[in-house]
Amino acid sequence: MPLTETSLRRLRAARAQPRRGERHRGRRAAVAFVATLAALYPLLRRPILTWGASSEEATSRLPGDELLEDADGVSTRAITIDAPAATVWPWLAQMGPSPRGGAYTYNWIENLLGLDMHSVDRVLPEFQHPEVGDTIGLGSNRMRLEQAEPGHVLAWRSEDGNWVWTFVLKEHDGTTRLISRNRFRLPTLVARVGMLPMEPGSLLMERKMLHGIKSRAERLASATPRALSAQADGG
């Protein structure tokens, strides 16, 4: 018996029903996933902001904190380096966009943002004596060096005063704890909300940076005195 137009409409509707059901289930699953992440994020946020740092390091007051009191956002990340502070410091001293030494992280990501970072594997003698007042550009941020204690502290502050990035070195029995602390002032609700999705990304980049410094410092420390001298001379 030939199908009438009404029958055809019913047939099409019957075929479409499972597809609509699949779409609804997909939407419900997506909503549930987002809701789960939102519920878990407060629990995940602390490990994201304090990767590698002890509870004492994460909560203690560090040099550079006074440059931005009452910060709206703080991250403290750290790593142990099997090398003395003297072989860690050179990599911190020369950090920055070309012609400086880069940031020892994912260059391709940083350069997508126009930061002109090119991580090097050798000490650059011309950048080994940072002084208060030195500046570097990080995208739209111009950073000014506010503290420079060779082998111990390097603290940068953005020109608008809303960001302070401090590195602290603590040496013990030939190993060094490298602590990286970021302090932010987030003056608007948009800035505070916008920072949340950036935090996991900052962990990805900073973890790579800390490991990059660690591997370079340990390699430098294991070099023979002659090779160490060549590195210091830029060879």
Q: Are residues 104 and 207 in the same domain?
A: yes
Angle, vertex CA 155, rays to CA 182 and CA 152, nearest 5: 110
Q: Is residue 129 part of a domain?
A: yes
Looking at the structure, do residues 171 and 108 belong to the same domain, yes or no?
yes
Report if residue 50 sits inside a domain.
no
Q: State residue 196's pLDDT score.
A: 77
Structure confidence at residue 33 (pLDDT)? 57
Give pLDDT tens digits for 178-225: 999 999 998 887 777 777 778 899 999 999 999 999 999 999 999 856
Q: What is the pLDDT of residues 52-104, one digit of tens each?
A: 999 999 999 999 999 999 999 999 999 999 999 999 999 999 999 999 999 99
On whether both 137 and 155 belong to a single domain, the answer is yes
**Residues 23 and 61 grouped into a single domain:** no
If one counts the domains in the chain, the total is: 2
Vertex 133, ends 129 and 139: CA angle to 5°?
Answer: 95
Are residues 8 and 76 part of one domain? no
**53 in Cβ contact with 79 (< 8 Å):** no
In tens, the pLDDT along 172-188 reads 999 999 999 999 998 88
Residues 8 and 62 placed together within one structural domain of the fold? no
Q: Which residues contact 118 (CB under 8 A, 6 or more apart)?
A: 98, 102, 107
pLDDT in tens, 134-169: 999 988 889 999 999 999 999 999 999 999 999 999
Structural domain range at position 114:
55-232
Is the pLDDT score of 39 beyond 60? no
113, 213: one domain: yes
Shared-domain flag, residues 186 and 134: yes
pLDDT at 233: 54
**What is the CATH number for 161?**
3.30.530.20
Please report the pLDDT score of residue 235 as a whole number: 47
Q: What stretch of H or E contains 150?
A: none
Please check the confidence at residue 11 and state whether its pLDDT lies above 70. no
* Alpha carbons 15 and 17: distance in angstroms, whole number: 6
Q: How confident is the model at residue 42 (pLDDT cuts 50, 70, 90)?
A: low
- 194 shares a domain with 148: yes
In whole numbers, what is the pLDDT of the chain averaged over residues? 86
CA distances from 232 to 42, 131, 134, 220 (A): 45, 19, 21, 10
Instruction: For residue 99, give the DSSP letter.
Output: T
Q: Is 141 exposed, middle or buried (0-12, 13-18, 19+ CB in 10 A)?
A: middle
Task: Give a yes or no: residue 64 inside a domain.
Answer: yes
pLDDT recorded at residue 41:
56
What does the pLDDT look like over 15-33, one tens digit per residue?
656 566 666 676 776 666 5
162, 109: one domain: yes
Claim to verify: residue 139 and residue 224 sit in the same structural domain: yes
